[in-house]
Structure 1
Amino acid sequence: MVQRLLSPGEIESLDHNTIPRLVLPQPGVLFSARAARLRQLAAGGVPGIPAPESLHGYLLLMAALADAQAKIAPATIPPLPSLDAIETALAHNMPPLPVSGPRPAGWRAVYLALLDMLDTSGQPQLAAVLQDLRALPEAELEGCADAVLAEFGEGINPLHAPFVAAALQVLWTSHASQLDASRVQPPVTGALCPVCGSHPVASVIRIGGQAQGYRYLHCGICASEWHMVRVKCSCCEKNARIAYQSLDQPEEASASKAQDPSRVARAETCDDCHSYRKVFNQEHDFMVEPLADDLASLALDVLVTEAGYARGSVNPLLWLGSE
């Protein structure tokens, strides 16, 4: 049966109240799934995302970091900001857990717990880095956290930043998981996370239930996912000049339309703002994990940036530093 494709205007006019508008994270499940996906990517087990061999060691290191996040997440249930602060934010369509402004003082305890867990992970190559991370002066540690949350890479230490980001992820996902999704209001711009105000790291086409076939943006800090129609640029929100770029795949790899490796990871480019963000499609790979897949698909970044497009946001687990 041939289905008629809806026009952009028809898609915009659909009643989206029947689909999950916001999906809050489940920290324990999230980090465990991310660790497993990173190992699968490092082993070359994802045909649609052929991670280069030079990246395999880093993917395995980030898998160990995600394992540590998963282990400390159940014990990391920090109190939410005051009810008054949350209510005020919701009343003004502002993120209830903003990454801007003062951080919860307990974040440093989460950071140290993460380092302690990594100490027991059997990763001897981390010993020197963990020693440096523990010795960071408070001002330098807080400055690194500021830079991570602001996505400001200039001057940041690329060795320290992923570990600082990982601690912040544990804190913010734990906070986000305690919210009532039905009360969180969409912000003025759909290009920012309605929970914490961060940029999405990537978008993902979900499958199953009411979310079947819908596109969600995935927050790199709190891991919340919010719906955005598939005809919009997730950076400037225009929809007239959108295109999709993907890596070439062997002909035999695309034999099945239901499991097409060329459609697992694509870059959505916009000729209005000249930016791009990746789209990962669960319809073609059930195990898609946006942050892990984004990290492993650097070849796609190279392809698109060489074509003149700028990346829309950073991946919190990869900082290249300033040149």
Structure 2
Amino acid sequence: MQRILQPGEIEALDRTSLLRTRLPQPASLFAERAARLAQKAEGNPIGDYLRFLARLVRAQQQAAGKVQTSAPDPAQIARAQEHSMPLLPAASHIDPAWLGVLDELLAALDGAAELPQALQPTLQALRAMPADARDALARRTLMGLLAGPDDLAAAPIVMAALQVVFADRASRLQEADIPYTDPATICPVCGSAPAASVLRIGGREAGLRYLHCGTCCTEWHMVRVKCSHCESTKGVHYQGLQSEDGSLKDEVVLAETCDQCHSYRKLTNQEKDPLAEPLADDLASLLLDLLMADTPFARASMNPLLPMADAGDAPA
């Protein structure tokens, strides 16, 4: 079994050997996510929705094999590195290719047995929506400015199309292209907040904690026992669903809480389950979010495939 490194040990590692950024590999990324969603749907209170998402993510995998985006030019890379800013902030760098991906996802969902009947009007509205209205909806979705129930219903499908394009573009980068951002709690590629974090296993990643971007699916290293929202190293704790005897029911997904900013974000541990996938396991552990609703801690950022009407930044 791999041993999880403690913060002091991580910082003492040779910096040339530590994998600072994990750039997405779209084909395998979406295939693994779809499989995990289907697995976690069994016996889950939101199993029907997870099965629908598994179908949607399989459609993402198909679209990922066809989409073509371009990497940023050297001037953009140099500017981002000089100013410690994200390389391509998402809301202002939407590749037009996303419109074709959205049409492909809508076609893949047409008549799908997993599609909830309540989403049929949403799919029809997206099909009929002109390109400029789609782009405006994409920007609202990326900025977390969803306007009412129609936006909320459309957001998972819109984000699924955007993820394919942003993940493709991120996959064309080199690790040396990625800037060190300030703050370090946002994605260094697209500037989005992490949807969750994950303790990885295997090779150079063993025992390291990575934050997982919900938009471009890039992961970047952050030492453990540091709040992934405010970067405080004080008052970081872990909470999970408990059995009657007080033991944890599930050690794969825990809520990492911070006493400084009163936020929490899910932490997925691959040592407890090698098949754990940060976005899928975050969705499948909705009961933990319900538990956290009765605590002083607010969720730091939403899962892009399950937006909430009251989702927003955690208090600072």
TM-score, normalising length: structure 1:
0.86
Identify the residue that residue 175 of structure 1 maps to in structure 2: 169
Shift of 1:101: 1.6
Q: Does 1:67 align with 2:58?
A: yes
Shift of 1:153: 3.8
Shift of 1:185: 1.8
Counterpart of 2:280 in 1: which secondary structure? helix
- Relative distance call for 1:164 and 1:301 in structure 2 (3 A) is same
* 8 Å contact kept, 1:154–1:322: no
Q: 1:282 aligns with which of 270, 275, 291?
A: 270
Q: 2:203 aligns with which of 206, 209, 213?
A: 209
* CA displacement, residues 220-270 of structure 1 (integer Å, 9 cap, x when unaligned): 01111111000100000001101100001477xx8xxxxx86310100000
Task: Return the alpha-carbon distance in structure 2 between the equivalents of residues 121 and 289 of structure 1.
Answer: 24
Task: Return the alpha-carbon distance in structure 1 between the equivalents of residues 135 and 310 of structure 2.
Answer: 19
Worse-superposed segment, 97-106 or 55-64: 97-106
* 8 Å contact kept, 1:95–1:187: yes
Shift of 1:313: 0.5
Shift of 1:146: 1.1
TM-score, normalising length: structure 2:
0.88
Identify the residue that residue 226 of structure 1 maps to in structure 2: 220
- Relative distance call for 1:16 and 1:269 in structure 2 (3 A) is farther
Identify the residue that residue 146 of structure 1 maps to in structure 2: 139
Identify the residue that residue 36 of structure 1 maps to in structure 2: 35
Unaligned runs of 5+ in 1: 45-50, 255-259
* 8 Å contact kept, 2:23–2:217: yes
Shift of 1:77: 1.8
Aligned-residue RMSD, C-alpha: 2.5
Identify the residue that residue 160 of structure 1 maps to in structure 2: 154
* 8 Å contact kept, 2:237–2:256: yes
Identify the residue that residue 314 of structure 2 maps to in structure 1: none
- Relative distance call for 1:16 and 1:154 in structure 2 (3 A) is farther
Shift of 1:195: 1.1
Identify the residue that residue 20 of structure 2 maps to in structure 1: 21
* CA displacement, residues 278-302 of structure 1 (integer Å, 9 cap, x when unaligned): 1000000011111111111111111
- Relative distance call for 1:224 and 1:280 in structure 2 (3 A) is same
- Relative distance call for 1:33 and 1:73 in structure 2 (3 A) is same
Q: How many residues are aligned here?
A: 305
Task: Return the alpha-carbon distance in structure 1 between the equivalents of residues 309 and 129 of structure 2.
Answer: 18
- Relative distance call for 1:65 and 1:155 in structure 2 (3 A) is same
- 1:64 counterpart letter in structure 2: R
Q: How does 1:1-323 map to 2 (within 5 A)?
A: 12-44=11-43, 51-52=44-45, 55-119=46-110, 121-123=112-114, 125=117, 127-155=120-148, 157-249=151-243, 262-321=250-309
Unaligned runs of 5+ in 2: 312-316
- Relative distance call for 1:240 and 1:153 in structure 2 (3 A) is same
Task: Return the alpha-carbon distance in structure 2 between the equivalents of residues 11 and 79 of structure 1.
Answer: 34
Shift of 1:105: 2.3
* CA displacement, residues 67-123 of structure 1 (integer Å, 9 cap, x when unaligned): 100011010122234443333323433222221324222221221122122237455
Shift of 1:19: 1.5
- 1:143 counterpart letter in structure 2: A
* 8 Å contact kept, 1:269–1:309: yes
